[in-house]
Structure 1
Amino acid sequence: MKIIAGLGNPGLKYENTRHNAGFMAVDALAEKLGLEFSQEKFSSKFAKGRISGEDVVLLKPQTYMNDSGIALRQCLDFYKAAPSDVVILYDDVDLPVGRIRIRQKGSAGGHNGIKSIIHCLFTEEFDRIRIGVGKDVQIPMISWVLGKFPLEQKQSLDQALDMAAEAGEDIIRKGTMHAMNRYNAKKV
């Protein structure tokens, strides 16, 4: 069992904000796989399917970003999965819009959703796909991540979300190293 979780905040207020890039990417993956987030469990919206014969759960925690780890822990406990079975998709202000970066482990880098996951899983060793949302040093960070993408970034964002969805699928099909080699150098 593999778990691919996109991070974000629930509700219309947060829809299409930079902080919800993870939700948007896992939505793109669900669409690609013909799945719908029609079920609720693990304090999340989730969909279940298969990738290359592997059972996969797509997860959108509804706990708000700062408590994402709670939902993920519930899902892992239910399926008796390990942190090594997890792929997290989330926003990263240190990458420009249009870029993604895959890592196998690491610190939270100041991201509260990842801090929560590390705290609840007791490890930093899980796959992650960071989706660039850029930053503006003149805008306070909280206002920036809760702001919406400008229209002129829509094409780059859509391409990056599709690339993140493909990378999540590639991790399941061919492994993290393959996906890192394929996607970490790509620019849209």
Structure 2
Amino acid sequence: MFQIGKTLISEEIIENDFVCNLTACKGACCVDGDAGAPLDDRETEILVDIYNDVKPFLRAEGIKVIEEEGAFVKGEDGEWETPLVNGSECAYVTFSDKGITKCGLEEAYNAGATKWKKPVSCHMYPVRIREYSEFTAVNYHKWEICDAACSLGEELKVPVYKFVKEALIRKFGEEWYVELEKVAENLPK
């Protein structure tokens, strides 16, 4: 672990390689698991505000759940998260004709319907953060459904922190990321 400002960062985000391989996993991270995508308070407000703009990009099943449960829900851990369809996929998920999971929020953003890409927790994956009173923990989340992403990252020589650069800057800022790069350059191999 090392520290940048009020963040404690696992060296695993520098030591491990990762590049999403959607042809292999089909976006299973948006479908598997036992909870929706983690959200912060600000993101819950955004989801409510942009729902009508995003709705045309969603599946009927997702719309039904969102309109019954809300744009976000409180998870079993007491934290905010996206609602799930049938306790499985995120309500904001769509599927391509090849069965690859897509994010309806990101599709709306890409089409210019919104100015918000998607929850930062999704954007940063496989990096996960946990807020504590004195610091924020920044960790690598290893999940076997992402084995193909780890292999592709290794083949392309792309460390986790570079793969999620845009998301880390979005969350922590450009200066923070520059500091992270300096640590990575000086970390013994």
Same fold (TM over 0.5): no
Which structure has the higher relative contact order (CA within 8 Å, separation 6+)? 2
Greater radius of gyration (CA): 2
TM range (shorter): under 0.3
Which structure is higher in strand share? 1
Task: Give the TM-score normalised by structure 1.
Answer: 0.24
